[in-house]
Amino acid sequence: MQFINIQNERLSTIGIGSAALSGDRHAEQEAIRYGLSNGINVIDTAESYGDSEAIIGGALKGIPRDQYFLISKFLPQHATPDLMRRSLEGSLRRLGVDYLDLYLLHWRENANLITTVAELEKFKQAGLIRHWGVSNFDTQDMEDLLTVPDGDHVFANEDLYNLTSRGVEYDLLPWQQERQICFLSYSPFHAVGWNFIKPATTVKEIAHEHGVTPQQVMLAWLLRNHNVLPLPKAGQISHVQANIAAVDLVLLPADLSRLNTAYPAPTHKVPLDKI
């Protein structure tokens, strides 16, 4: 596994996603434990992911708390002081931990950024979270965030980013990189609702040439600049193994150029894609 350093946190270059867990609970917990014992230390979940927090909590039993970086999220409709505390306490209880490493506002909606950040800072001071961040924020949302008191303490923004959804490359990615704000990329295979990317022939050809799968090409492509941290969800060990192996897959300049032709980079600002 390779690691990146963000604000003194040593994070594995890929994490473990967890939307729509609860197919085969036992297999999913095994897959999470396999990932953690093979170098992944970032796990992403949310209060809104059904049983995912409880399933992850079961998988984490017995693993020393400092061995993983645990992310959860609260809904914007819970972004009031009372409801945020209730959300956080619920996530901690289901996950079976005393603190989160990163707590994200799941999307902006009508959340009051001033009071939300103030409450997140209180959680931090109380030792209930180590960092806070946001999700589904576009560049203007991030600019707005930086204008509120302590808004510049934001650790991460988690957004949709994959081969078919490259809008963030135009301005948001460089904007975050300049400020050392971690970019977590969700749905690397665009698979929510099982609506996978249908890999273009180019992806299949490149996969064939490297002796890997199209999904491994998609992950290696996301990792090409070392400035995003993808969060693939995998409910089976074989998929976790493949995703870990993809970290060492280096795409050639010619591969990248063929992928650029199949999935062109943005040439102008496009609104942030969301799932």
Minimum CB distance to ligand NAP smaller for 162 or for 202? 162
Residues 6+ apart with CB under 8 A from 187: 17, 160, 162, 275
How many CB atoms neighbour CB 275 within 10 A? 13
Kindly name the residue from 34, 49, 68, 263 that is annotated as catalytic.
Answer: 49
Separation of alpha carbons 80 and 74, rounded Å:
11
By beta-carbon proximity to ligand NAP, the closer residue of 41 and 213 is 213
Minimum separation from the CB atom of position 192 to ligand NAP (A) = 4
Candidate ranges 2-10, 121-129, 200-208, 237-245; the one touching ligand NAP (CB under 6 A): 237-245
Active site residue 49: yes
* Closer by beta carbon to ligand NAP, 189 or else 221: 189
157 binds ligand NAP (CB under 6 A): no
Contact status: 58 vs ligand NAP (CB under 6 A): no
Compute the C-alpha angle 80/141/72, nearest 5°.
50
- Give SS3 for 78: helix
The full DSSP string for 136-179 is S--HHHHHHHHHSTTGGG--EEEEE-BTTB-GGGTTHHHHHHHT
Contact 62, 37 (CB under 8 A): no
| CB-based contact 43:18 (threshold 8 Å) | yes
Residues 182-218 as b/e (b if ≥16 CB within 10 A, e otherwise) read: bbbbbbbbbbeeeeebebbebbebbbeebebbbbbbb
Q: How far is the CB of 235 from ligand NAP (least distance, A)?
A: 3
Determine, following the binding rule CB under 6 A, whether residue 158 of this chain makes contact with ligand NAP: yes
| Contact residues for 26 (Cβ-Cβ < 8 A; gap 6+) | none
What is the rounded CA–CA span in Å between residue 237 and residue 242? 9
Q: Could you say which of 231, 247, 249, 259 contacts ligand NAP (CB under 6 A)?
A: 231
Q: Does 33 bind ligand NAP (CB under 6 A)?
A: no
CA distance 240 to 29: 12
Query: Which one of 55, 215, 220, 263 is in contact with ligand NAP (CB under 6 A)?
Result: 215
* Contact between 275 and ligand NAP per CB under 6 A: yes
Shortest spacing between CB 99 and ligand NAP, in angstroms: 19
Contact between 135 and ligand NAP by CB under 6 A: the answer reads yes
Q: Which stretch binds ligand NAP (CB under 6 A): 2-10, 115-123, 234-242, 260-268?
A: 234-242
Looking at 12, 13, 165, 187, which residue binds ligand NAP (CB under 6 A)? 187
Does 243 bind ligand NAP (CB under 6 A)? Our answer is yes
Note whether 245 binds ligand NAP by CB under 6 A: no
**Catalytic positions, written as ranges:** 49
Binding stretches for ligand NAP (CB under 6 A): 17-20, 44, 106, 135-136, 158, 186-192, 213, 215, 231-236, 239, 242-243, 275
